[in-house]
């Protein structure tokens, strides 16, 4: 756990302009800097960086965030890795909770294994240079020296103790232990006093290093040159390498994925390097395992569009179904997942070589959307013309709808399926026990106890009321517009508090109540978000800044609503003084409305001659207050 104070200090000490200018050419444009967005293709610059806010925003694709977010999105780093990378540029060490003895041992093992894997990689690469047979094999597969170098391809000689030339005798237990743990050698079973045999796992194979997002080699894939089994051999799972969490080629493909605006997922590493050679360097591959949710999460972190490419045979269809099942819980209206099925006689490599890159690109653009593949899967082998067939399809789909988040795409698939089944969408939703929009979806899910007040009020709303505002779209749309009505002031004030959280921290309970009243004038959902925002502001440190506060908003249960508001914040050039005046003016307006209502109630008592002396004193005080407020 990295202390929040360190993250704040880090963002205060680095300059986002320095961080981004290493990857993007920036030019002065007004008070900000502009450049071509690194996250999508464009000809005119729409990517803007604010030196004062220490924040970036693209008006084309909507990408935005702090220096930490930029490294996470651009370099594909985790939150912790991005902080460590950023800290290293200014000579800071990242403080963490002291690891346990077990944790320390795991870290030391990981460092040692990483060194072992890199030494092995270097040896395999040198071995390739000296082996004409292996070089000729790669040439026959159409691979150039540049592609081999880019992917770090090497060759494991046909020797049983090949790596002894690098690490020393396998008879040394410490040497053998590290190589076994790295998955590079195999240790046989010892029999009695006989010493167990130790020999190389990879022999006479083209070696494909598997890298993590830092570029470190964590495993290998080996392809036999001639005939033999298995044709493909991967490293076993180790402390470094987890197949279900790793994609081959992602490290090398990151830039191309951003430039081409999609990621292509293949079945093997040979497909990946061959496609890179043929003009599709945005390809990655799973490693001898079915696609997992971790794979899909990794893919969606790097691109808004994912295309799974499979052979058109039965095995390919099964692999596609597993990828579909891994994707279903991670669907989003901002993301797109498609499935490409090649003719049975082709893999991506052979298809492009025979048909050409243009035809392959067209096939990718026409790949089957997940929504269509959904209907194919549930209806496989069923007769839609019979009641029994339709009933089976309806029942088959239930497990998928239960996993799918309550997004617009789910509504569209429900509607399409209802038409196919000959029933209404409402009947289908009732059968699955789901609603068009769930309350939890737009108030957010939290492991902690829900807040009272506006949140409780929202839960008590009639179903018809909260269904009208699916997924906080009203808030998102409003955040993109200029204020056009008095009720929009709640949105304006939230943008002020997001930019200057310290203003929210210093509000009194009465002032917070006034802001909630303003937000309620828009709708109950706005009040819920306002209540959450005020609580987050209250928890901010006195020296909290906008750049670090937006990372806090990203972890909130209302992150999606804040995301929409953050995009609009970038266009708002409020100084702290202007923001304070704006906030105080709004609070004074609400206070005047409350005072006028109180004065009206006392006046009604006076008209009925039921007033008390306290009422008269309060009336005079209210009148004086209103005059002072102007």
Q: How far apart are CA 389 and CA 381, in angstroms?
A: 9
The answer to whether residue 442 is domain-embedded is no
The answer to whether residue 446 is domain-embedded is no
Mean pLDDT across 372-396: 95
- pLDDT value of residue 98: 61
Average pLDDT value over all residues in the chain = 84
Question: Which two three-digit tokens encode residue 383?
Answer: 């007769």
Please tell me whether the peptide bond between 346 and the residue prior to it is cis, using omega within 30 degrees of 0: no
Question: Which two three-digit tokens encode residue 20?
Answer: 């981004």
More confident residue, 359 or 623: 359
**Confidence (pTM):** 0.67
- Shared domain for 79 and 148, answered yes or no, is no
The answer to whether residue 96 is domain-embedded is no
Mean pLDDT across 576-595: 80
Q: CB of 33 within 8 A of CB of 51?
A: yes
- pLDDT value of residue 268: 87
What percent of the chain stands above pLDDT 90? 42
- pLDDT value of residue 285: 95
Q: In this structure, what are the phi and psi dihedrals at residue 200, rounded to the nearest 5 degrees?
A: -65, 140
Q: How far apart are CA 598 and CA 606, in angstroms?
A: 13
Read off the pLDDT band of 546 (50, 70, 90): confident
- Shared domain for 196 and 265, answered yes or no, is no
Which DSSP string do the residues of 453-490 spell out, in sequence order?
THHHHHHTS-HHHHHTTGGGHHHHHHHTS---SGGGHH
Could you tell me the residue range of the domain that residue 192 belongs to? 101-210+217-228
Read off the pLDDT band of 445 (50, 70, 90): very low
Q: How far apart are CA 37 and CA 25, in angstroms?
A: 10
In the numeric block, the tokens 């517009």 are attached to: 481
- Under DSSP, the state recorded for 341 is E
Q: How far apart are CA 231 and CA 205, in angstroms?
A: 9
347 pLDDT more than 60: yes
Q: How far apart are CA 625 and CA 599, in angstroms?
A: 11
- Shared domain for 254 and 309, answered yes or no, is yes
Mean pLDDT across 390-413: 94
- pLDDT value of residue 223: 94
Q: CB of 590 within 8 A of CB of 513?
A: no
- Shared domain for 139 and 81, answered yes or no, is no
Q: How far apart are CA 368 and CA 163, in angstroms?
A: 46
- pLDDT value of residue 234: 94
- Shared domain for 460 and 493, answered yes or no, is yes
> Using one digit for the tens of pLDDT, what is the confidence trace for 106-132?
777 788 899 999 999 999 999 999 999
444 pLDDT more than 50: no
Read off the pLDDT band of 500 (50, 70, 90): confident
Closest CA to 582 of 463, 488, 458: 488
Q: How far apart are CA 116 and CA 110, in angstroms?
A: 10
Which of 43-52, 189-198, 404-413 has the weakest average pLDDT?
Answer: 189-198
- Shared domain for 362 and 327, answered yes or no, is yes
Residue 156: partners with Cβ closer than 8 Å, 6 or more residues away: 124, 127, 162, 200, 202, 203, 204, 205, 207, 222
Mean pLDDT across 453-467: 42
Q: How far apart are CA 276 and CA 260, in angstroms?
A: 13
**Of 89, 117, 134, at which residue does a domain stop?**
89
- pLDDT value of residue 252: 94
- Shared domain for 301 and 365, answered yes or no, is yes
The answer to whether residue 78 is domain-embedded is yes
Cα–chain center distance at 541: 27
Mean pLDDT across 396-416: 94
In the numeric block, the tokens 């508090």 are attached to: 497
- pLDDT value of residue 450: 38
- Shared domain for 136 and 29, answered yes or no, is no
Which of 13-17, 77-81, 471-475 has the weakest average pLDDT?
Answer: 471-475
Read off the pLDDT band of 395 (50, 70, 90): very high
The answer to whether residue 411 is domain-embedded is yes
- pLDDT value of residue 443: 33
Question: Which two three-digit tokens encode residue 62?
Answer: 């909507």
What percent of the chain stands above pLDDT 70? 88
Which of 116-125, 339-348, 471-480 has the weakest average pLDDT?
Answer: 471-480
Q: How far apart are CA 394 and CA 388, in angstroms?
A: 10
Cα–chain center distance at 202: 35
Mean pLDDT across 475-479: 41
The answer to whether residue 234 is domain-embedded is no
- Shared domain for 123 and 189, answered yes or no, is yes
430 pLDDT more than 50: yes
- Shared domain for 428 and 466, answered yes or no, is no
Closest CA to 33 of 49, 22, 21: 49
**Of 61, 89, 117, at which residue does a domain stop?**
89
Q: How far apart are CA 40 and CA 526, in angstroms?
A: 32
Question: Which two three-digit tokens encode residue 279?
Answer: 């003009």
> Using one digit for the tens of pLDDT, what is the confidence trace for 192-235?
555 568 999 999 999 999 999 888 999 999 999 988 889 999 99
- Shared domain for 537 and 597, answered yes or no, is no
Q: How far apart are CA 506 and CA 534, in angstroms?
A: 10
Longest dimension (CA), the chain: 110
Mean pLDDT across 474-502: 63
- pLDDT value of residue 571: 64
Q: How far apart are CA 248 and CA 299, in angstroms?
A: 12
In the chain, how many domains are there?
6
Using CA of residue 595, residue 601, residue 606, residue 612, what is the dihedral sign?
negative
Q: CB of 38 within 8 A of CB of 47?
A: yes
- Shared domain for 546 and 595, answered yes or no, is no
Q: How far apart are CA 543 and CA 67, in angstroms?
A: 18
463 pLDDT more than 70: no
Read off the pLDDT band of 372 (50, 70, 90): very high
Question: Which two three-digit tokens encode residue 499?
Answer: 């930019």
The radius of gyration computed from the CA coordinates of the chain, to the nearest angstrom, equals 30
Q: What share of the chain is helix, strand, coil (3-state, %, to 5)?
A: 55, 10, 35
Mean pLDDT across 172-201: 82
Phi-psi region of 29 (alpha: psi -120 to 50; beta: other; left: phi over 0): beta
Read off the pLDDT band of 485 (50, 70, 90): very low
99 pLDDT more than 70: no
> Using one digit for the tens of pLDDT, what is the confidence trace for 280-302?
999 999 987 899 999 999 998 88
- pLDDT value of residue 109: 79
The answer to whether residue 238 is domain-embedded is no
44 pLDDT more than 90: no
457 pLDDT more than 90: no
514 pLDDT more than 60: yes
- pLDDT value of residue 449: 37
132: burial class by Cβ within 10 Å (0-12, 13-18, 19+)? Answer: exposed
3-class SS string, 405-442 = CCCHHHHHHHHHHHHHHCCCHHHHHHHHCCCCCCHHHH
C-beta atoms surrounding 169 within 10 Å: 10
96 pLDDT more than 90: no
Domain containing residue 56: CATH number: 3.90.580.10
508: burial class by Cβ within 10 Å (0-12, 13-18, 19+)? Answer: exposed
The answer to whether residue 495 is domain-embedded is yes
């Amino acid at each position: 756990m990295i202390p929040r104070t360190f993250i704040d200090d880090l963002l205060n000490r680095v300059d986002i302009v320095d961080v981004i200018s290493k990857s993007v050419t920036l030019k002065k444009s007004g008070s900000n800097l502009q450049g071509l967005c690194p996250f999508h293709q464009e000809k005119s610059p729409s990517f803007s960086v604010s030196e004062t806010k220490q924040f970036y925003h693209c008006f084309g694709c909507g990408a935005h965030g702090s220096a930490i977010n930029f490294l996470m999105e651009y370099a594909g780093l985790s939150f912790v890795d991005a902080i460590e990378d950023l800290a290293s540029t200014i000579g800071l060490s990242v403080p963490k909770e002291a690891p346990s003895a077990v944790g320390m041992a795991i870290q030391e093992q990981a460092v040692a294994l990483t060194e072992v894997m890199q030494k092995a990689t270097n040896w395999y690469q040198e071995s390739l240079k000296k082996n004409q047979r292996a070089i000729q094999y790669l040439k026959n597969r159409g691979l150039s020296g540049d592609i081999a170098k880019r992917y770090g391809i090497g060759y494991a000689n046909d020797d049983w103790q090949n790596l002894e030339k690098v690490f020393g005798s396998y008879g040394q237990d410490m040497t053998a232990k590290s190589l076994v743990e790295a998955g590079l050698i195999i240790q046989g079973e010892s029999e009695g006093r006989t010493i167990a045999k130790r020999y190389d796992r990879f022999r006479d194979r083209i070696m494909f290093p598997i890298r993590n997002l830092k570029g470190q080699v964590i495993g290998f894939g080996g392809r036999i040159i001639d005939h033999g089994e298995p044709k493909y051999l991967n490293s076993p799972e180790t402390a470094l390498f987890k197949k279900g969490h790793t994609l081959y080629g992602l490290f090398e493909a990151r830039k191309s994925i951003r430039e081409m605006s999609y990621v292509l997922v293949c079945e093997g590493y040979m497909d990946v390097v061959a496609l890179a050679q043929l003009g599709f360097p945005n390809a990655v591959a799973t490693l001898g395992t079915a696609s997992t949710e971790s794979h899909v999460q990794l893919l969606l972190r790097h691109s808004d569009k994912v295309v799974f490419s499979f052979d058109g045979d039965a095995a390919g269809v099964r692999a596609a179904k597993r990828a579909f099942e891994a994707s279903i819980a991670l669907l989003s209206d901002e993301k797109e997942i498609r499935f490409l099925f090649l003719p049975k006689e082709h893999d991506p490599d052979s298809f492009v070589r025979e048909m050409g890159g243009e035809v392959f690109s067209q096939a990718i653009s026409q790949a089957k959307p997940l929504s269509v593949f959904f209907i194919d899967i549930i209806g496989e082998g069923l007769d839609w013309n019979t009641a029994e067939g339709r009933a089976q399809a309806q029942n088959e789909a239930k497990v998928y709808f239960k996993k799918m988040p309550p997004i617009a795409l789910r509504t569209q698939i429900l509607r399409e399926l209802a038409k196919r089944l000959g029933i209404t969408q409402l009947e289908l939703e009732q059968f699955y026990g789901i609603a068009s929009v769930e309350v939890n979806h737009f108030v957010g899910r939290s492991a902690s106890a829900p807040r009272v007040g506006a949140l409780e009020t929202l839960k008590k709303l009639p179903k018809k009321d909260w269904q009208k505002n699916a997924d906080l779209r009203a808030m998102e749309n409003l955040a993109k517009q200029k204020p056009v009505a008095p009720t929009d002031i709640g949105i304006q004030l939230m943008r002020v508090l997001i930019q200057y959280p310290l203003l929210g921290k210093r509000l009194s309970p009465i002032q917070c109540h006034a802001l909630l009243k303003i937000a309620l004038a828009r709708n109950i959902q706005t009040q819920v978000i306002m209540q959450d925002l005020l609580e987050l502001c209250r928890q901010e440190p006195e020296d909290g800044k906008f750049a670090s506060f937006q990372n806090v908003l990203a972890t909130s249960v209302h992150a999606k609503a804040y995301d929409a508001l953050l995009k609009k914040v970038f266009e708002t050039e409020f100084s702290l003084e202007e923001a304070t005046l704006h906030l105080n003016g709004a609070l004074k307006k609400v206070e005047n409305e409350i005072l006028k209502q109180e004065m009206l109630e006392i006046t009604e008592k006076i008209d009925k001659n039921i007033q008390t002396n306290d009422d008269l004193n309060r009336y005079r005080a209210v009148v004086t207050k209103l005059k002072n407020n102007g």
